Amino acid sequence: MAQFGAFYTDNLGTPLRVAQVLGLTSTAFFAGKAFNASFATTPALLEAPAPLLARQWKKQFDADKWLAPAVAIFSSGVFSYIAYRDHAWTKTSILYATSSGLLLSLIPYSIFLFEPVNQKLEAKAQSLAKASLTDASAEASVAKEETTHGLVDQWATINLGRAVIAGISAVTAVWAAVDRTDVVPATLKFGSGANRM
């Protein structure tokens, strides 16, 4: 630990500080993006007829499918290294390890909860690819929870859970980064004569 003025700081060094900022930023970005997909984008998509909805969902899914694993692996690697580098069982180390663990939990969360819904929606997109985009009766004989609308709604609910996990991870990592700097109480004394030094 180095002492600078009235603060104790742990000097991480520029490369590690850049990685820390990228880890924090990418985690917060992913949390916001996932929340937006569930809270704002999906309700708008659900207004479309099934064939159009299937195509729109597929386009959104294809654009974002590697984002969550990339953010989870990169940011959790950064946070794990910082936790490892810190003194064992300090609050900062525990917070970074927690943040890393939360990010890594997104991988099994996605595999076990998302993948079955993703596979059904990809099959819907393929089966409805030839249907007219405005055909509102394309799924008239399908059970409500198995329609494209039902599956996209289910997908958005599961995705909201992913946004919450990523958001908690981002807040935990920010807390660890902010907690790293502690203010040192400073006292001011005036001395005279030989006591000035």
pLDDT in tens, 120-173: 999 999 998 888 877 767 777 788 888 999 999 999 999 999 999 999 999 999
Provide the 8-state DSSP code for 87: P
In the chain, the number of structural domains is 1
* pLDDT tens per residue across span 73-131: 999 999 999 999 887 888 989 999 999 999 999 999 999 999 999 999 999 999 988 88
- What is the model's pLDDT at position 97? 96
3-state secondary structure at position 182 = strand
Whole-number Å distance between alpha carbons of 53 and 41: 12
Please report which confidence band the pLDDT of residue 6 belongs to, taking 50, 70 and 90 as the band edges: very low
What is the model's pTM? Answer: 0.81
Quick check: is 9 in a domain? no
Quick check: is 49 in a domain? yes
Which of 170, 175, 177, 176 has its CA nearest to residue 32? 170
3-state secondary structure at position 192 = coil
C-beta separation of 54 from 138 below 8 A: no
C-beta separation of 148 from 117 below 8 A: no
pLDDT at 180 over 70: no
Domain of residue 27: give its range.
21-185
- What is the model's pLDDT at position 72? 92
C-beta separation of 70 from 29 below 8 A: no
Whole-number Å distance between alpha carbons of 11 and 103: 25
Quick check: is 35 in a domain? yes
Residue 161 makes CB contacts below 8 A (sequence gap 6+) with 109, 113
